[in-house]
């Protein structure tokens, strides 16, 4: 036997710009992002816009055209901005991805050309996936337009579409060329999507940054009331923590089993499926991290006070901590939510590894779950949901979620 050992290291580098009013003609951020390598010639680009965003901001595609026209010496828009259906449904059909692939090929984009995607996490995933297939990967400049996408999915290195009944089953690792987080784009979000990203911030704070966690608890009400400056701080810190994690984990392309940023997600993903996606991802994550934090308390690795602060913070931010789907039990069978553990185990290749908080701002992995104990935690969350008596939050509890 003869073995030739091959080792390749490929560095990836991408800037994340934080700005406001990115399509204002005086704002250089997007132009800079597209032209950041200062190559000769004009930067050719095709732009895809989330149709849900375009419905809320009908002037947006026109503003994109004006921007490219204003900077035409350096930028060239190869076609009018294309609308892409927004939300999870867009990821459910391969046809959408194929349509985007075809559109990119029709414009003869080469590997130096850029695909600009303006939209929520679903559209970023879908267009990013298609763009990563064409010529084995075009440059993608993302303008995330939801809180979740600005602080989490939009600054990450993954793309995916759903396949069969499984979420994110088919996808690629494809770091973006640049990301432009424009806080003003969040203004048109419905409350559900505004709040959804707050859950991801609590998630990452509780396992990585105690100070940020306390800050979130203190500012939960301001966040729910849509204070723009507070949200800008949340997005910036949360994006920073994600970038740090991807850079510092030693496993940016998730070859190992550890998935710290999936804290709370085994039940969250299952809640989404059990509710047929009526429950939004962020809302499901809120309940999922509350559940796993309750479990961490019972394991003795999280002070009860931290759990109380978390639940109070989530409720004050207008997020739920419990859904009836958590307690759904098919006749004579275990709770339906526990299928989420099996799905997660399978996704990780057979061995379960769940990240739980270990003190505030730190984490520890566990490999076994005591189902009766987890069942008790579900009952406890139901109690919390029912008992929470702050006037500010009562209307935001699951009854109205
Ligand atoms: N790739 C990753 O690493 C990663 C990580 C986390 C989540 N995700 C994915 O992200 C998706 C969820 O993304 P999301 O939470 O951003 O929601 P979303 O993309 O589903 O968008 C929610 C809704 O808001 C609309 N919308 C988007 N921006 C808007 C705006 N500014 N104003 C008004 N409406 C707007 C959309 O059209 C959609 O109807 C899921 O599919 C999830 O799997 C991916
Ligand atoms: Zn998530």
User: What domains does the chain contain, in order, with CATH numbers?
Assistant: 16-186 (3.40.50.1970), 191-394 (1.20.1090.10)
Q: Stretch 257-286: mean pLDDT, rounded?
A: 91
DSSP state string for 14-39: --EEEES-TTSTT--HHHHHHTTT--
**Position of tokens 């940054």?**
209
Q: Which ligand number lies closest to the CA of residue 199?
A: 2
Closest CA to 206 of 301, 345, 337: 301
The pLDDT confidence band at residue 65, using thresholds 50, 70 and 90, is very high
Q: For residues 64 and 60, give the distance between their C-alpha atoms in angstroms, rounded to a whole number.
A: 6
Helices (H), 187-303: 191-208, 210-224, 228-248, 265-274, 281-298
The pLDDT confidence band at residue 343, using thresholds 50, 70 and 90, is confident
Q: Which two tokens stand for residue 154?
A: 């939009």
The pLDDT confidence band at residue 257, using thresholds 50, 70 and 90, is low
Q: Are 189 and 146 in contact (CB under 8 A)?
A: yes
Give the mutation target among 48, 49, 50, 263 for probing the ligand 1 site: most ligand atoms within 8 A of CB: 50
| Cα distances (Å, whole numbers) of residue 257 to 75, 109, 174, 367, 371 | 42, 37, 20, 11, 21
Of residues 56 and 256, which shows the higher confidence score?
56
Q: Stretch 105-113: mean pLDDT, rounded?
A: 93
Pairing of strands 43-50, 16-19: unpaired
**Position of tokens 């600005």?**
150
Give the mutation target among 58, 121, 184, 228 for probing the ligand 1 site: most ligand atoms within 8 A of CB: 121
**Position of tokens 């970023």?**
124
Residue 401 pLDDT: 42
Residue 394 pLDDT: 45
Angle at 341 between CA 358 and CA 251, to 5 degrees: 60
Q: Stretch 183-188: mean pLDDT, rounded?
A: 98
> What's the predicted TM-score (pTM) here?
0.93
Does 185 contact ligand 1 (Cβ within 6 A)? yes
């Amino acid at each position: 036997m003869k073995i030739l050992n091959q080792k390749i290291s490929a560095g990836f580098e991408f800037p994340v710009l934080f700005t406001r009013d990115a399509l204002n003609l005086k704002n250089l951020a997007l132009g800079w992002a597209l032209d950041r390598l200062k190559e000769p010639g004009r930067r050719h680009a095709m732009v895809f816009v989330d149709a849900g965003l375009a419905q809320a901001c009908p002037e947006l595609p026109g503003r994109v055209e004006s921007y490219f026209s204003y900077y035409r010496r350096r930028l060239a828009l190869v076609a009018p901005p294309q609308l892409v259906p927004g939300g999870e449904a867009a990821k459910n059909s391969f046809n959408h991805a194929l349509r985007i692939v075809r559109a990119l090929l029709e414009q003869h984009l080469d590997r130096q050309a850029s695909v600009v995607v303006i939209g929520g996490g679903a559209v970023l995933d879908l267009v990013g996936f298609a763009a990563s297939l064409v010529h084995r990967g075009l440059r993608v400049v993302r303008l995330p337009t939801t809180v979740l996408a600005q602080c989490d999915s939009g600054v990450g290195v993954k793309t995916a579409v759903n396949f069969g009944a499984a979420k994110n089953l088919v996808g690629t690792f494809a770091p973006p060329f640049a990301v432009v987080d424009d806080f003003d784009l969040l203004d048109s979000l419905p409350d559900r999507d505004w709040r959804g990203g707050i859950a991801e911030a609590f998630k990452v704070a509780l396992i990585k940054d105690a100070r940020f966690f306390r800050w979130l608890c203190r500012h939960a009400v301001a966040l729910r009331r849509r204070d723009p400056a507070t949200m800008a701080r949340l997005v910036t810190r949360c994006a920073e923590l994600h970038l740090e994690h991807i850079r510092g984990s030693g496993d940016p392309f998730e070859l190992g089993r550890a998935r710290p940023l999936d804290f709370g997600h085994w039940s969250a993903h299952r809640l989404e499926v059990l509710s047929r996606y009526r429950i939004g991802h962020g809302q499901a994550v809120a309940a999922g991290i509350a559940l796993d934090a309750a479990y961490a308390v019972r394991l003795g690795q999280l002070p009860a006070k931290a759990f109380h602060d978390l639940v109070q913070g989530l409720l004050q931010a207008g997020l739920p901590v419990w859904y009836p789907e958590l307690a759904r039990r098919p006749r004579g069978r275990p709770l339906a939510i526990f299928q989420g553990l099996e799905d997660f185990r399978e996704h990780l290749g057979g061995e379960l590894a769940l990240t739980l908080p270990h003190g505030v701002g730190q984490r520890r992995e566990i490999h076994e779950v005591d189902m009766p104990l987890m069942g008790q935690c579900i009952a406890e969350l139901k109690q919390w949901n029912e008992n929470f008596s702050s006037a500010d939050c009562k209307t935001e509890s699951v009854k109205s979620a």
